Amino acid sequence: MRVLILGMAAATAAMIPGTASAQQATDTSTGTVTVGGTVARLCILGTPSRANVDVGQMAVTSGARVGRIAVIGSQSVTLPGSFCNFAGSALTVAVTALVLNNAAPVQPGFSKAVNYTATATNWAVTSTAATSAATAAGGTPTATSTGATQPTPKIADVNVTLSDFTAPSDALLTAGTYNGVVVVTLGPA
């Protein structure tokens, strides 16, 4: 009988507020504060190792090919520490032919454009290349290509190589100063 009375007393105590089931007061209390923030998607290209590329004299000055495009060696530019902090980025290369800064019409047998290829490497699995195809008169000088998608955030030295310099129809080059440009863009695919 004694066990039964004790059991009933414990059950009764559990039902009365402020008894054994009440929270104990302490000298310490803990609260939780949630902290959050965001990081914007960023792509940054490093400063080019060479801001200007001068390929020098582009025409042969003696011999059987005098006046025509010379063999111009490949030129390299590095964009060190380039990065995108998100998955799904790609490089785009836009190349504009070297065109003579002269409004005069091109004469038959001559060219005032030099085409070339710009290739960007070390970003995605494959390189990104664009080749200009300007006419002898310098028309339609720009070509653009977007490369493969980089599937993860990445930091790398992007290498850009200028190569395969040619004149339309292997024509004689008109004298003067030629200018072109390569624009490399790093961003969402």
Asked if residue 57 is part of any domain, the answer here is no
Question: What is the structure's pLDDT at 2?
Answer: 37
Domain assignment present for 62: no
d(CA 180, CA 114): 9
The answer to whether residue 53 is domain-embedded is: no
| Residue 14 domain-assigned (yes or no) | no
Q: What is the pLDDT of residues 100-134, one digit of tens each?
A: 998 899 999 999 999 999 999 999 999 999 999 99
Res 184: pLDDT: 98
* CATH number for the domain harbouring residue 115: 2.60.120
Would you state the pLDDT for residue 26?
85
Phi-psi region of 89 (alpha: psi -120 to 50; beta: other; left: phi over 0): beta
Residue type, 74: S
What is the mean pLDDT of the segment spanning 85-113?
97
pLDDT in tens, 8-41: 444 445 555 555 556 678 899 999 999 999 999 9
How many domains are contained in the chain? 1
Q: From residue 116, how far is each of 96, 101, 140, 148, 149 by CA, in Å?
A: 9, 17, 13, 21, 24
Are the CB atoms for 145 and 129 separated by under 8 Å?
A: yes
Q: Is residue 12 part of a domain?
A: no
Instruction: Answer whether residue 134 is part of any domain.
Output: yes
Q: What is the domain extent for residue 160?
A: 76-188
Question: Does residue 177 form part of some domain?
Answer: yes
**What's the confidence (pLDDT) of residue 5?**
40
